[in-house]
Amino acid sequence: MRAKDTELMEDIRHLKQEKNVYIIAHYYQRGEVQEIADFVGDSYAMAIAARDSECKTILVAGVDFMAQSAAILCPDKTILSPETRATCPMANSIKVEDVVNYKQEHPEACVVSYVNTPAEIKAVSDICCTSSNAEKIIRQIPEERKIFFIPDQNLAQNVSHKLGRALDYFDSCCPTHARVTKPEILELKQKYPQAPVLVHPECSPEVVAIADYIGSTAGILQYTTNSDARSFIIGTECGIMHSIRKAAPDKELFLASEELICPNMKSITLGKILYSLEQGETVITVEESIRKRAVLALEKMIDYATR
């Protein structure tokens, strides 16, 4: 690690303690950002950590919808984003009118919104879900109800196949996970036949079909830590490698593609985090009428996920 990074990390640790700021980071963040975070997890766990923290100021090292989720669940707390331009192309692909138009055509349908969506989309959804609890939540929706799953077509198709239940879905996907291809996986599997293939359910159905394990970032981390296997082929954003190596330093990891880098996640740096702490910028807010509707979908997800 560079001496400058070490210095920045010490400054951040000192300042967050002085100002009583709780830093939450996603697994896809840079390794050094994960190291200065008080909590590292997937988007669902980050939102819960923000809600449960006793600190009144939460700094979210993640893309914009993650900061919004914290603001939705924590209206009494100050939510900071060190980089407001860090966003998610898939989350931004769907518009409110897409959901409203679908509801007008199918008034009895249930709109299941992936947490990877802006607050405005959550506000017009019936319930949210994550990659780790999508199956559990959809199982609890009556079979006779049509479901509109937004905005990730890959997660929708993979859940649909797993449950044997038809889902309507929006035509969009994560550009990072779309870079995982079947030929690359098969080539790596030929080189490392003993290595289980672990992929995120945002990957395409043809990739999921040849995987040994399909799960969220947290699930992939847990699998590698608990498995007796010594090597693994990892099909998700490269940031997870830091957490896996930290939890299981003796394991050998092979990234499914060299292209598995989310530029938005990686746009957050130690320097930006320090500046955010020093200046108290940028405060993320959600308009109250939107927040009140969005929180219903998030709280319903939390309720269904814990049943």
**Residue 121 belongs to a domain with what CATH number?**
3.40.50.10800
Same-domain status, 154 and 301? yes
Same-domain status, 244 and 215? yes
Whether 39 is covered by a domain: the verdict is: yes
Query: Are the C-beta atoms of residues 40 and 243 closer than 8 Å to each other?
Result: yes
* Mean pLDDT rounded to a whole number for the chain: 97
Same-domain status, 203 and 248? yes
Same-domain status, 298 and 168? yes
Q: Which H, E and C letters describe 93-122, residue by residue? A: HCCHHHHHHHHHHCCCCEEEEECCCCHHHH
Place of tokens 């797993």: 162
**Nearest-angstrom CA–CA distance, 132 and 3:** 38
Of 133, 163, 138, 161, which Cα lies nearest the Cα of 42?
133
Work out how many domains the chain is built from and give that number.
3
Could you read off the pLDDT of 262-288 as tens digits, one per residue? 999 999 999 999 999 999 999 999 999
**Amino acid 163: pLDDT:** 97
Same-domain status, 53 and 186? no
Same-domain status, 148 and 17? no
Whether 260 is covered by a domain: the verdict is: no
Same-domain status, 96 and 80? no
Same-domain status, 152 and 299? yes
Alpha helices (H) along 140-269? 153-163, 182-191, 205-208, 217-226, 240-247
- Secondary structure of residue 172 in the 3-state scheme: coil
**Amino acid 229: pLDDT:** 97
Same-domain status, 233 and 214? yes
**Residue 24, domain extent:** 3-87+265-285
Q: Residue 149 pairs with which residues in a beta bridge? A: 112, 169
Same-domain status, 294 and 164? yes
Average pLDDT of the residues in 117-133? 96
**Position 164, amino acid:** G
Could you read off the pLDDT of 133-161 as tens digits, one per residue? 999 999 999 999 999 999 999 999 999 99
- Burial of residue 226 (CB within 10 Å: 0-12, 13-18, 19+) is exposed
pLDDT over 70 (residue 244)? yes
**Amino acid 1: pLDDT:** 67
**Nearest-angstrom CA–CA distance, 292 and 294:** 6
Average pLDDT of the residues in 26-42? 97
pLDDT over 80 (residue 241)? yes
pLDDT over 90 for what percent of the chain?
97
**Amino acid 307: pLDDT:** 84
Q: Residue 24 pairs with which residues in a beta bridge? A: 39, 60
Same-domain status, 184 and 250? yes
Which H or E run contains 234? strand 231-235
Same-domain status, 160 and 296? yes
